[in-house]
């Protein structure tokens, strides 16, 4: 007991004698109650609040640690002259041989061990929860609120809404964690100083190779056969006629022990390496090189290979087709079709597809402006054309307005200059056959021996029905 008192005595005296320690102690003491309180709140209630996390792990935590560090440094290095000598051999020799002063050295050693232990404990506690905070969706998606809101919203409406941002953007391993935090710190400044681009630029050039992230969960080697895809659409007529496009997509496989690589996932089989040259946006691809397992190469060039200025070379991976696996921005038609299908926008309301499309494709300056304009316009049109229906079933119009506003709000962000179709999805070819697969599969990329990358409609899919009402093929499959 007596010993402890001596240690504490020495501790407080030491602090009092060094200004650095004193300032450190003041910071530590002032921060401690807030830090403790917030950490307890955070761990008990698991608040998913990005600002709370930022206050704890980016402000209070570092301040507390800096305070402790100052106490430590001040205590051992910046006191009176005599104590500095503790670290010289002569001093130690002198003290260890002098029985009476021995206790003093021991005291300092005790103190050192105690402080180091306490520091390590607190450092690791903060480090551990801080690491988790920096990896959380709250930090990635919400901290930089307006900047990330579009990606965060699109992500929540996707099949990957339960996959954390970091699993695609960072992946496992320390190197990519550090890389991401270095570029993250730069981005944080860009947000603070408001110098970040609007919209955020894509493609993401520093993205970790997709094979290292996507393949943590997906194995294209195990894919096989064909996938039945049904796209639901609604026509802009009085009945909002429900039509469907049905196709068999030749998913194929990246090849496993039993089967050779074939079909769509042939591109990512280990034995095929496809590299291509493109402009920065990866929209024009004049040169494609296929290297096979035996080392033989085929180079496909298209007519525009001369006149595209600076080119980058890239190895094809999942992202060249699945560039929007989770930040899926819909086209205006698709955004409405989705809601007509789920019933958020009632199909009983005549011409709602047509009218909603007119309303959401106009240009607005903000979400608020768009919402009031959409409500005003739909109300005006339906009161003029279908006054009886609106009077007898007002709920239909109310639902339609809400659904239409949502279709706009979840896909367009005037504040970030994100309009309809700002972010292109490369998974298909678009209606004009000019993006996605058709950047290469346009029958125009030719090798020296005259082969082309095929644009034949049967290469990738079999269309079983196109925009048909109640297609026969689906009735047959259901046994009707």
Tokens found for residue 451: 């082969």
Residue 12 C-beta: closest distance to ligand HEC, Å? 47
C-beta separation of 251 from 223 below 8 A: yes
Instruction: Single out the residue of 136, 323, 405, 425 in contact with ligand HEC (rule: CB under 6 A).
Output: 323
Tokens found for residue 2: 């007596």
Residue 264 C-beta: closest distance to ligand HEC, Å? 5
As beta bridge partners, residue 273 has 291
418 touches ligand HEC (CB under 6 A) = no
Instruction: Single out the residue of 245, 305, 398, 421 in contact with ligand HEC (rule: CB under 6 A).
Output: 245
What does the angle CA 467 – CA 468 – CA 473 come to, to the nearest 5 degrees? 120
Q: Which listed range, 23-31, 217-225, 302-310, 380-388, lies at the site for ligand HEC (CB under 6 A)?
A: 217-225
Residue 257 burial (10 A CB sphere; 0-12, 13-18, 19+) = exposed
For tokens 């094979």, the residue is 211
User: How far apart, in whole angstroms, are the C-alpha atoms of residue 302 and residue 440?
Assistant: 9
C-beta separation of 328 from 425 below 8 A: yes
User: How far apart, in whole angstroms, are the C-alpha atoms of residue 79 and residue 125?
Assistant: 30
Q: Please list every residue from 419 through 478 that binds ligand HEC, using CB under 6 A.
A: 423, 427-429, 436-437, 439-441, 451, 453, 455-457, 459-461, 463, 466
Count Cβ neighbours within 10 Å for each residue of 415-427 and write b for 16 or more, e otherwise. Answer: ebebbbeebbbbe
Q: Please list every residue from 168 through 197 that binds ligand HEC, using CB under 6 A.
A: 168-169
- Structural element, H or E, at residue 227: strand 227-234
Residue nearer to ligand HEC on the CB measure, 168 or 401: 168
Phi, psi dihedrals of residue 228, rounded to the nearest 5°: -85, 120
Q: Please list every residue from 107 through 166 that binds ligand HEC, using CB under 6 A.
A: 137, 140-141, 148, 151-152, 155, 159-160, 163, 165
Tokens found for residue 149: 């809101």
Residue nearer to ligand HEC on the CB measure, 15 or 319: 319
Instruction: Single out the residue of 30, 120, 229, 293 in contact with ligand HEC (rule: CB under 6 A).
Output: 229
How far, rounded to the nearest angstrom, does the alpha carbon of residue 471 sit from its chain's CA centroid? 38
As beta bridge partners, residue 247 has 229, 463
Residue 129 C-beta: closest distance to ligand HEC, Å? 19
414 touches ligand HEC (CB under 6 A) = no
Tokens found for residue 39: 């950490």
Q: Which listed range, 73-81, 123-131, 215-223, 472-480, lies at the site for ligand HEC (CB under 6 A)?
A: 215-223
Residue 257 C-beta: closest distance to ligand HEC, Å? 18
Residue nearer to ligand HEC on the CB measure, 398 or 421: 421
Residue nearer to ligand HEC on the CB measure, 138 or 356: 138
Residue 409 C-beta: closest distance to ligand HEC, Å? 17
Q: Which of 141, 129, 124 is nearest to 49 (CA)?
A: 141
Q: Please list every residue from 281 through 300 that binds ligand HEC, using CB under 6 A.
A: 285, 288, 290, 300
CA distances from 261 to 216, 225, 247 (A): 20, 11, 21
Residues binding ligand HEC: number (CB under 6 A): 79
Instruction: Single out the residue of 203, 236, 350, 414 in contact with ligand HEC (rule: CB under 6 A).
Output: 203
| Alpha helix positions (H), 202-303 | 210-213
Instruction: Single out the residue of 108, 264, 349, 407 in contact with ligand HEC (rule: CB under 6 A).
Output: 264
Please state whether beta strands 287-291 and 461-468 pair in parallel, antiparallel, or not at all (unpaired): unpaired
Residue nearer to ligand HEC on the CB measure, 320 or 338: 320
Residue nearer to ligand HEC on the CB measure, 350 or 455: 455
Residue 452 C-beta: closest distance to ligand HEC, Å? 7
Q: In what order do the strands lie in the sheet with 287-291?
A: 297-301, 287-291, 273-278, 312-315
Phi, psi dihedrals of residue 124, rounded to the nearest 5°: -70, -35
Residue nearer to ligand HEC on the CB measure, 187 or 398: 187
Residue nearer to ligand HEC on the CB measure, 148 or 407: 148
Residue nearer to ligand HEC on the CB measure, 264 or 374: 264
Q: Please list every residue from 52 through 91 that binds ligand HEC, using CB under 6 A.
A: none
268 touches ligand HEC (CB under 6 A) = yes
As beta bridge partners, residue 249 has 227, 461
Question: Cβ atoms within 10 A of the Cβ of 380, count?
Answer: 10
Instruction: Single out the residue of 66, 73, 249, 435 in contact with ligand HEC (rule: CB under 6 A).
Output: 249
Q: Which of 244, 14, 191 is nearest to 115 (CA)?
A: 14
Residue nearer to ligand HEC on the CB measure, 137 or 377: 137
Residue nearer to ligand HEC on the CB measure, 159 or 310: 159
Residue nearer to ligand HEC on the CB measure, 31 or 453: 453
């Amino acid at each position: 007991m007596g010993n402890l008192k001596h240690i504490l005595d020495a501790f407080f005296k030491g602090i009092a004698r060094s200004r650095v320690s004193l300032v450190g102690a003041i910071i530590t003491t002032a921060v401690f109650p807030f830090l403790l309180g917030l950490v307890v709140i955070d761990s008990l209630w698991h608040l998913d609040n990005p600002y709370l996390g930022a206050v704890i792990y980016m402000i209070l935590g570092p301040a507390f640690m800096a305070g402790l560090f100052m106490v430590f440094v001040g205590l051992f290095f910046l006191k009176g002259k005599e104590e500095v000598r503790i670290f010289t051999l002569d001093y130690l020799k002198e003290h260890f041989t002098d029985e009476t002063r021995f206790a003093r050295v021991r005291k300092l050693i005790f103190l050192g061990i105690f402080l180091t232990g306490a520091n390590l404990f607190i450092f690791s506690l903060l480090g551990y929860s801080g690491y988790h905070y920096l990896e959380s969706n709250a930090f990635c998606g919400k901290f930089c609120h307006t900047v990330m809101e579009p990606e965060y919203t699109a992500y929540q409406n996707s099949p990957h809404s339960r996959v954390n941002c970091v699993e695609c953007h960072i992946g496992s391993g320390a190197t990519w964690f550090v890389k991401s935090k270095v570029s993250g710190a730069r981005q944080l400044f860009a947000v603070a100083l408001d110098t970040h681009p609007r919209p955020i630029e894509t493609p993401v050039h520093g993205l970790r190779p997709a094979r290292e992230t996507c393949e943590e969960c997906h194995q294209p080697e195990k894919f096989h056969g064909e996938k039945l895809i049904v796209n639901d659409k609604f026509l802009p007529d009085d009945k909002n006629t429900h039509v469907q496009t049905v196709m068999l997509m030749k998913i194929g496989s990246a090849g496993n022990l039993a089967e050779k690589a074939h079909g769509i996932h042939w591109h990512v089989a280990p034995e095929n390496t496809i590299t291509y040259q493109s402009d920065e946006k990866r929209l024009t691809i004049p040169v494609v090189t296929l290297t096979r397992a035996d080392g033989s190469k085929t180079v496909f060039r298209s007519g525009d290979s001369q006149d595209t200025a600076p080119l980058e070379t890239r190895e094809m991976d999942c992202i060249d087709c699945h560039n929007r696996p989770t930040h899926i921005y819909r086209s205006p038609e698709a955004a409405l079709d989705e809601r007509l299908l789920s019933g958020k926008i009632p199909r009983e309301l005549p011409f709602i597809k047509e009218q909603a499309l007119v309303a959401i494709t106009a240009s607005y300056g903000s979400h608020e402006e768009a919402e009031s304009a959409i409500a005003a316009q739909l109300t005006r049109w339906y009161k003029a054309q279908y006054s009886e229906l609106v009077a007898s079933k007002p709920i239909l119009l109310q639902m339609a307005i809400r659904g239409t506003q949502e279709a706009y709000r979840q896909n367009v962000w005037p504040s970030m200059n994100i309009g309809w179709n700002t972010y292109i999805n490369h998974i298909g070819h678009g209606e004009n056959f000019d993006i996605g697969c058709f950047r290469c599969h346009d029958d125009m990329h030719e090798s020296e021996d005259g082969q082309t990358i095929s644009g034949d409609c049967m290469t990738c899919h079999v269309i079983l029905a196109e925009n048909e009402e109640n297609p026969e093929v689906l009735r047959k499959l259901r046994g009707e």
